Amino acid sequence: MRVALSEERLNLIRQALETRFAPTELVIKDQSQLHIGHDGAKDGKGHFDVTIVAAEFRGQNRIARHRMVYDALAELLQSDIHALRIKAFPPSER
């Protein structure tokens, strides 16, 4: 059951980011297993690592890029994501 939930969450994150940014590169890793026993993991939400490359990040600083990703995932941050590590780049920085 845990695997299905993890795969479902990964798919939801992927769908939200692909819809919002049409990225040229998108890697999402579920890091939840590294946080078992952590206070933040008790609510059942997951820990994720996202690397995303999209043209929309051109001209945006790192903080703005992160805010854009957080905005795209706002609903999932309420229900499924406890922690999110973001690496967001425009194509020229990859």
For the stretch 3-42, pLDDT in tens is 457 889 999 999 999 999 999 999 999 988 765 666 655 5
β partners of residue 26: 52
Lowest mean pLDDT among 43-47, 57-61, 80-84, 88-92: 43-47
Would you say residue 59 has pLDDT above 60?
Answer: yes
Mean predicted lDDT score pLDDT of the chain: 88
Please give the pLDDT value at position 35.
Answer: 54
Q: At what angle do helices 62-72 and 2-21 cross, to 10 degrees?
A: 120
Of 50 and 3, the one with more pLDDT:
50
The domain tally of the chain equals 1
> What range does the domain containing 21 cover?
2-93
pTM: 0.86
Cα angle 7, 10, 14; round to 5: 140
Cα angle 89, 47, 50; round to 5: 15
CATH number for the domain spanning 32: value is 3.30.300.90
Counts for the chain of helices (H) and strands (E), in that order: 3, 3
